[in-house]
Amino acid sequence: MLQMEEKHASPANVQEIDLYSSAVRQFDIAADILRLEDGMRKILSHCQRELTVNFPVEMDDGSVQVLTGHRVQHNTGPGPSKGGIRYHPMVTLSEVKALAMWMTWKCAVMGLPYGGAKGGVQVNPKLLSQNELQNLTRRYTTEIQILLGANQDIPAPDVNTNPQIMAWIMDTYSMNVGYSVPSVVTGKPLSLGGSPGRNEATGRGCVYVAVEAAKKAGFSFDGARVVVQGFGNVGSSAALIAAELGAKIVGVSDLQGGIYNPHGLDVAAVAAHHAATRSVVGFDGAEPISNEDLLELDCEILIPCAIENQITEENAPRIRARMIVEGANGPTTPDADVILGDRGIVVVPDILANAGGVTVSYFEWVQGMQWFPWTLEEVNSRLQKIMTSSFARVYDESVGRGVDLRTGAMCVAVDRVAEFTRLRGIYP
């Protein structure tokens, strides 16, 4: 049994990067362009609800640990709030607030009837047993249940959470209300009302958008050299689907390090190696490379699918990709955006590029509310249609206003949410 200090290390000694300030900076840029009225700026630059809970969890040895979790709703104007739950040692309220705000814009860009929410628990789940993980999930769910509901706030998987954890959340909520409510979460196992195609939806959506962006940038996706940072659910799906569509995956990485082959990797073999060893490191037929160097490889498309703040003002001058497609949330800092823009590197922003996950979550929610399942072909076809039409709208907005894609996407999103807010008014 690990000691508490190892198992639940606090990030107090780690300098926090204030993600919420970065999110508000992005909002302010769009608000300036849209000439948003002062009252509306105040409303949309704040989160509507912020819940922090400190809750006990019983460990396998009988001891009790107290963990800290959050659930934040940024906006509920368009409809129920929607957003993932992550388990990570570095979870902070600032991070969760930023992610909730980005979820609002993401849903608005895609035209989904949701506002944005996010949740997280400050813990390293990889050091927990399955029983401890279940105890954590059920108690955290009960603590935040005052915000949850199929027509109120709908969680989904995020960093270090998965369909099993969503099943525990659904069951806990259902037991507390006395009847089964499959639509209270998305990203569930198929047997509990999950949607076909949900697991790979974020990575698939990234690739659909990358194909469209490559056309606008004047090069073919078929044969393009692609680098993927992060080989979890999003990164591995993006790499596999991109390879299926003809791209050459020359580099991938995970927490342990990366691998590189300028002639292209056998992505299916890399995935098998990762499944067997829990890392891409040590894969035959590739050179080892650090995560830092991987980001600076010469390629057409870089897809960061890890965590926030990976491309900063420090390494942005050395990025050699023609295009960055943000599979992760917030991987590029505002200062790095300026540098990349000056260098002519196209950035397809997270609120568009990785919105495939929440889009198929919406499909799952609709199926749950109607108790009527769709086929995988229906899901993927509808996803491609929404991703490509949303990209076209953002591209037209950016060209029309003479701004980059991130600002164009933010203008689309903020304008839409502001319109909801004006129409609904202020109660009472």
Active site residues: 118
Q: What is the residue-wise DSSP string for 289-355?
A: E-HHHHHT---SEEEE-S-SS-B-TTTGGG---SEEE--SSS-B-HHHHHHHHHTT-EEE-HHHHTT
| Dist CA 347 CA 103 (whole Å) | 18
- 3-class secondary-structure state, position 122: strand
Pairing verdict, β 49-58 and 64-73 = antiparallel
- 3-class secondary-structure state, position 341: helix
- 3-class secondary-structure state, position 312: coil
The beta-strand segments (E) located in 172-300 are: 225-229, 248-254, 257-260, 287-289
| Dist CA 324 CA 97 (whole Å) | 24
Instruction: Name the nearest CA neighbour of 111 among 421, 422, 416.
Output: 416
Six-digit token pair at 277? 């060893």
**Residue 10, C-beta contacts closer than 8 angstroms, at least 6 positions apart:** 122
